[in-house]
Each structure stands twice: as structure tokens, then as C-alpha cells.
Amino acid sequence: MTRAFIFLISLFLISTFTFADTIEVCKTCNLSSINEAIALAKDHDTILIKKGTYKEYDILIDKPLSILGEGHPVIDGNLKGEIITIIADNVTLDGLSIINVGISYTEDFAAVRVKKAKNFSIQNLVLENLFFGIYIEKSHYGKVIHNKIIGDAVEEHNSGNGIHLWYSSHIEIEHNYVQHVRDGIYLEFSDDSFIRNNVSSNNLRYGLHFMFSNNDEYQDNTFESNGAGVAVMFSKNIKMLSNTFKENWGSASYGLLLKEINDAEIIGNTFEENTIGINIEGSNRIIYKHNNFINNGWAVKVRGACYTNSFTANNFLYNSFDISYNSRENDNVFDGNFWSSYSGYDLDNNGIGDVPYRPVKLFSYIVNRTPETIILLRSLFIDLIDFSEKVSPVFTPDNLIDQHPLIKKAEW
Amino acid sequence: MLKILKYSFFDLMRSRWSYVYFAFYLLLGIVLLFLNNDLSKAVITLMNVIIVLVPLIGTIFGVMYYYNSKEFTELLLAQPLKRTTIFLGQYLGVALSLSLSLVLGLGLPFVFYGLFKSNAIWDFSLLLITGSFLTFIFTALAFNIALSNENKIKGFGYAILLWLFLAVIYDGLFLMSIILFEDYPLDKMSLMGTLLNPIDLSRTLILLKLDISALLGYTGAVFKKFFGTDLGLIISFAALILWVILPVSRIMYKSKRKDF
């Protein structure tokens, strides 16, 4: 009996010692302002914000706190400036709606800014009418999960990015839903981050944008109807796995834009109905495997200075042009892909066509030179000259051949 | 006119050639669908067939029918009938029976394959509509050629030449001129170029459906307006209708003045 009593007492003591206080904020409570609550709180306290609208901005979180919203309370910044700034480690933000971020041409106001902090977690937020959404600078080991960011960007110069990373690392960005901002998710000088299961659509510029960021991975995301799906520039060792790039239409629209990218892996992605599936410029040693290119204008457009890339076991289905090349040199390998326009046969029945396939058509050269000729696409005359080029290549690189084209769609 | 139309129509419906034509499309549809197992690919192949073969068959058939039924036409001319009625009736009879063979021949296998449940139905109906338009246009052109040439061999020669020109040579010249004048803004010219050739016109119509993502890759504003909105569809259809009306009115004009 006494032993049990002592155990209970000690349990109680331990719990009061380690578990921090909860401070409630609501319109009718003692505390009706978030700023006051933060000033009152001790380290590791929880601030519980009840349902309601709070007209506050410049909320500075300078100690490790958990700020939880109950029933999605709305924090309205009244377009005055930045709303929440986190400068302490171990901060959690959960379940808030943040609206009306101020727009400035000199400062990047954000709905939530994380500044030189570690181990933060930002989840279940709804951001609307914003300039920048979640801005993470010089911070590490954080999570950005289950947020919904809905902007109303019209022009590039006066709009911000949904989730913006700058000089940060080890950030996990998962299950977010970003639309109508400039860049859905933007990484600059940010390494070792995971971006998974996000949906980024209808953004002005890119769904996802990498600049000078290395060793990042993005997987199972969907990029739809953006200015361009994903732009990866000046970065190394990026893994792009199982993403969907869809309906990025326009004269400068790409599903995926690669510029100065080395040693990347692009595996298991689907590119569907983009003007250009992948646009490659100055990118080396990239592995393209198990991707589906369906109904794109150009599945892959190779601009130049691309060496030792390998395309294996991809499906090229009903694209207007499979590969477009603008030089006569080729150092890239195309092997064992399925091409829907392949017309060869397989006599030994081993699943590999007996006649090699030339993915670059003469017409794609002509269109590169004189874009207006696109209007003659699928004309009988064009088929004739394509055929004669196929028989004896003059303009297209003669070693650009898939020696082992598949007879049936590649499966994996 | 309806009576003559009916007569020509049933005459052709009974003839061997309509059945051959119908059977050909039926076979094509079946082979495409059941060997390919893929509706979208079948629609693309079909498009190539339609814009090449339909005009060819329309022209040859039109010329052939005119020359074959010449004696009957002369008999009709002796009756108290308006000349336009006779020729328009014959023309519509040929064009309608050809379109019917096309629509039924291609339509049936696709319907059995489960077209109504597939989302390719719009692409496919567009194919059939443009196919029918091409039949009407090229039969009318064929009648024009036949009316202007008493000599059968010459008539056939011109008909084949017309087809060859519009299907292949025109595009070659078109391509050359675009490349030749590439330093100038060409989007208006190239759109005009397509409107002037019914085969190119139907090709563009189908491209609007199948390759819209590639077409939007070009930067010109005129292109963008044409292909990006419904404007392209409307203009193309208007031009196709014009392409039917013009040759038909020439048939009427010519038939009134022709000395038999």
C-alpha cells in the first residue's frame, strides 16, 4: 500500500516537473492576445488558441513553445507585415489559419518565418492571401507537414513563394498543398531535404524550384498546370522519384527543367501532356529510368552540353516528338526503351525489336530551326521525309539509336 | 432533286464498290483495335489513314461515278428536270453513300470495342466529321473535273493529280516557302496556308485535339490565339464548309452552261 502510494506521489511529482503548463488564449479568456501569451509563457509551455479571429502581426516566438490551434483559429495580419517569426529551437506550430500577409517590395514578408532555428515543426496550417508562405532561413532539422497554402498571385514580381528554404538543411516537406503562388516550393542553398507527397499546382512560375541545392530528394509529388513543373538548376545529386508532372502548357513550359545538373537520378516519374516533358541543358551523368512520357509535345528536349546521360527502360507513348536534339554529336545512351512509334518486328520473340529505333526525327530539326513549320505536323509529306532520313541519316546524329527497343511497354 | 438523290444513293448502295469501301473500313477498324489494344494509338493511325485515303477515294469514286452514269444522265437531261437538280442529286447521292460507308465502317468496330465508355469519343467523332467533310469536298472537286473534261483518261489523270497535289506536293511547297522566308514573321501566313488546302485543314483540326501540347510550344501570339482558344476550331470548320460550298456552286454553274 505504502509502496503504491509512494509510486503515485512520485509519478505526480515527475509529471508536474517535466510537463509544462498550458496557456489558453481566447476572446473571453484572461488572455486574448497571442503576443501576450508568448510573453507570459515559460520555455516548453503549450499555448492553446481557441477558435476565433485574432488580428495580430509581428508575433515573435523566441522560446521553445508549442502553439496549437483548436478549431482552426484565424490569425489575420491585416496586410501589415510579417505574421509569425520563429527564432527559437524546438517550436511547434499546429492547426492555425493565417491570412492577409503584407506585401512589400523591399522585405520578404512571410506568414511564418523560421530564422536560425532547429527542430521546428510546422503542421496543419492553412495560409491564405499571402506574400511568402513558410519562409525557412538558416534553419535545420525541421518538418513542414500537412499545410495548405493558397495564394492569389497574378504577377511574378509582386508575389512570393509558398514554401521557401534558404541556407537550410535536413528539412522534411510532406503532404502540403500549394497553389496560386509564384514558386510552390523553393530551395536555395538547401541540402539534404526530403520533399514528399506534396501537390503543387497552378503556380505562376515553378511547382518546385531548386537552386544551388545538393543531395535533396523529392518523391511522389504531383505538379500540375504550373508555369513549369519543376526546375532543377545548378544542383548536384538530386533524386527525383515517382513524381507526376502534368499539363504544364506554354511556349516556355516544361514538366521538368534541368540546367547544370550533375549526377541526378530520375526514376519512375510520369510526364503527361506537357509542352516539353524534360528540357535538358548542360546536365551530365543523369540516370533516366522507368519513366512514362505520355502525350507530351516533346518528351525530351536536349539543348546541348549534355554528356553521359542514360535513358533505359522508359516508356515513350504518343508524344508528338520523342527526342529533340540540336547538335550532331551524341554522348548519351538510349537503350531498351519502349517507343510507341516503333514499327519494327521481333522475329526471335525475345521482347526486343530486331531493328534499332531512331528516336530523333528530321522534322524535329526543322521545327527547331523554323518553329512555324510545326503546323505541318503529321502531314504525309513530313512522314515521307522522316522516312527517308530514317533510312539514311544526314541531319540527325547517326549514333543516336536505341539498339534494343522494347516490343511491349516496360513494366517494373 | 430528292428523287434523283435517292436513286443515286440506292444505286450506289447496291453497287459492289460501296460494299468494298465499307468492308475496307470495317476491316481497318477491327485490325487497328484488336491488334493494337489501345484506343488512343488507333485514333492516331486512323487520322493518318483518313486524311490520305478519304480524299483519294472520294476523288476517284466521284470521277468514276460521273463517267459511268453519263448515259443515264443524258437520259435524265431529256426529261423536264432542272439541270442543277440532276447534278446536285447525283453529287449528294455519291457523297452521302461514301460518308455512310466511312462512318459505319469505322464506327461499328469502335462501338463494339467500347467507345462510349472511353474518353477518346470526342477525338473519334471529330475524325469521322472531318472524314465526312473531306468526302463531300473531294467528291465535289471530282465532279468539277469530270464536268470540265469529256475525255475519261484526262479526267482521271487530273483527279489523281489533284489528290497528289493537295495531299503531298502542297505540303512540300508549303514547307519550302516557310523555310525560305523564315526571317519574316510567318504565323499568319502559315495559318492561311493551311486554310487553303482542305487536307491540311482537317489535319489541323485533328491536331488541335491530339497534339495541342506541342502546338502551344510555339511563341507566336496569332498561333496562340488560334490554337489556344475555340477560335481555331470555329475558323477551321467555317473554312471546311466554305470548301464544300465553293466547288458545289461551281458544279451548279458549270452544269447549267455545259453543252451535252
Residue among B164, B179, B213, B236 with most chain A CBs within 10 A, to mutate:
B213
The b-or-e profile of A169-181 (16+ CB within 10 A means b, else e) is bbbebbbbbbbbb
Of A151, A173, A205, which residue is a domain's last?
A205
Check residue B256 and give its pLDDT.
85
**Among B24, B18, B39, B50, residue whose Cα is nearest residue B112:** B39
Regarding whether A64 and A198 lie in a shared domain, the answer is yes
Provide the shortest C-alpha distance from residue A341 to chain B (in Å): 9
B171 vs A374: CB contact, 8 Å cut-off? no
Residues in chain A: 412
Residue B73's domain comprises 2-257
The answer on pLDDT for A16 being more than 70 is: no
Provide, as residue numbers in chain A, all residues whose Cβ is less than 8 Å from the Cβ of B216. Answer: 249-251, 253, 275, 297
Residue A333 lies in a domain: yes
Check residue A168 and give its pLDDT.
95
Task: For residue range B186-206, list pLDDT tens digits in order.
Answer: 888 888 888 899 999 888 888
Nearest-angstrom CA–CA distance, B257 and B260: 9
Regarding whether A270 and A176 lie in a shared domain, the answer is no
pLDDT band at A233; cut points 50, 70, 90: very high
Regarding whether A273 and A163 lie in a shared domain, the answer is no
Residue A257's domain comprises 227-360+396-412
Regarding whether A234 and A200 lie in a shared domain, the answer is no
First to last CA, chain A: 64
- Report the CATH number at residue A67: 2.160.20.10
**AA identity, residue A94:** D
Nearest-angstrom CA–CA distance, A301 and A259: 12
The answer on pLDDT for B124 being more than 90 is: no
Regarding whether A183 and A239 lie in a shared domain, the answer is no
A376 vs B171: CB contact, 8 Å cut-off? yes
Q: What is the DSSP letter of A377?
A: T
Q: Which of residues 290-329 of A touch B (CB under 8 A)?
A: 295-298, 318, 320-321
Check residue A199 and give its pLDDT.
95
DSSP for A297-310, please give it.
SEEEEEEE---S-E
Residue A376 lies in a domain: no
Provide, as residue numbers in chain A, all residues whose Cβ is less than 8 Å from the Cβ of B220. Answer: 371-372
**Among A367, A91, A51, residue whose Cα is nearest residue B178:** A367
Task: For residue range A146-201, list pLDDT tens digits in order.
Answer: 999 999 888 888 888 999 999 999 999 999 999 999 999 999 999 999 999 999 99
Q: Write the ipTM.
A: 0.84
Residue A212 lies in a domain: no
Check residue A299 and give its pLDDT.
93
Check residue B1 and give its pLDDT.
67
Task: For residue range A311-341, list pLDDT tens digits in order.
Answer: 999 999 988 899 988 877 788 999 999 998 8
Q: Give me A404's grid cell.
A: 534494343
Regarding whether A254 and A148 lie in a shared domain, the answer is no
pLDDT band at A6; cut points 50, 70, 90: low
Provide the shortest C-alpha distance from residue A252 to chain B (in Å): 7
Provide, as residue numbers in chain B, all residues whose Cβ is less than 8 Å from the Cβ of A297. Answer: 211, 213-217
Provide the shortest C-alpha distance from residue A373 to chain B (in Å): 7
Of A205, A236, A267, which residue is a domain's last?
A205
pTM: 0.84
Q: Beta partners for A134?
A: A112, A163
Quote the percentage of chain B above a pLDDT of 90: 31
A372 vs B187: CB contact, 8 Å cut-off? yes
DSSP reduced 3-state for A150:
strand
More confident residue, A393 or B173: B173
**Among A331, A323, A410, residue whose Cα is nearest residue A363:** A323
Of A205, A238, A273, which residue is a domain's last?
A205
pLDDT band at A240; cut points 50, 70, 90: very high
Check residue A11 and give its pLDDT.
52
**Among B133, B139, B163, residue whose Cα is nearest residue B66:** B139
B217 vs A373: CB contact, 8 Å cut-off? no
Provide, as residue numbers in chain B, all residues whose Cβ is less than 8 Å from the Cβ of A249. Answer: 212-213, 216
The answer on pLDDT for B240 being more than 70 is: yes
Q: Which of residues 238-297 of A touch B (CB under 8 A)?
A: 249-251, 253, 273-276, 295-297
Provide, as residue numbers in chain B, all residues whose Cβ is less than 8 Å from the Cβ of A382. Answer: 171, 175
Provide, as residue numbers in chain B, all residues whose Cβ is less than 8 Å from the Cβ of A379. Answer: 171, 200, 203
Mean pLDDT estimate for chain A: 89
Check residue B211 and give its pLDDT.
73
**Helix (H) or strand (E) run with residue B221 in it:** helix B221-228
Domain count, chain A: 2
First to last CA, chain B: 20
Q: What is the mean pLDDT of residues B20-32?
A: 87
The answer on pLDDT for B160 being more than 90 is: yes
Residue A27 lies in a domain: yes
- Which residue among B190, B206, B216 sits closest to A372, beta carbon to beta carbon? B190
- Which residue among A297, A340, A372 sits closest to B211, beta carbon to beta carbon? A297
Regarding whether A283 and A240 lie in a shared domain, the answer is yes
Residue A365 lies in a domain: no
Q: What is the mean pLDDT of residues A201-209?
A: 92
Nearest-angstrom CA–CA distance, B89 and B68: 15
- Would you tell me the crossing angle of helices B83-113 and B16-36 to the nearest 10 degrees? 30
Regarding whether A164 and A114 lie in a shared domain, the answer is yes
Check residue B14 and give its pLDDT.
74
Residue A374 lies in a domain: no
Residue A74 lies in a domain: yes
A374 vs B214: CB contact, 8 Å cut-off? yes
Phi-psi region of A260 (alpha: psi -120 to 50; beta: other; left: phi over 0): left
Provide the shortest C-alpha distance from residue B49 to chain A (in Å): 10
Domain count, chain B: 1
Check residue A318 and give its pLDDT.
87
List the alpha helices (DSSP H) in A171-249: none
Task: For residue range A387-397, list pLDDT tens digits in order.
Answer: 888 888 888 88
Task: For residue range A340-389, list pLDDT tens digits in order.
Answer: 888 889 998 899 999 999 888 888 888 888 888 888 888 889 989 988 88
Residue A13 lies in a domain: no
- Which residue among A274, A340, A370 sits closest to B41, beta carbon to beta carbon? A340
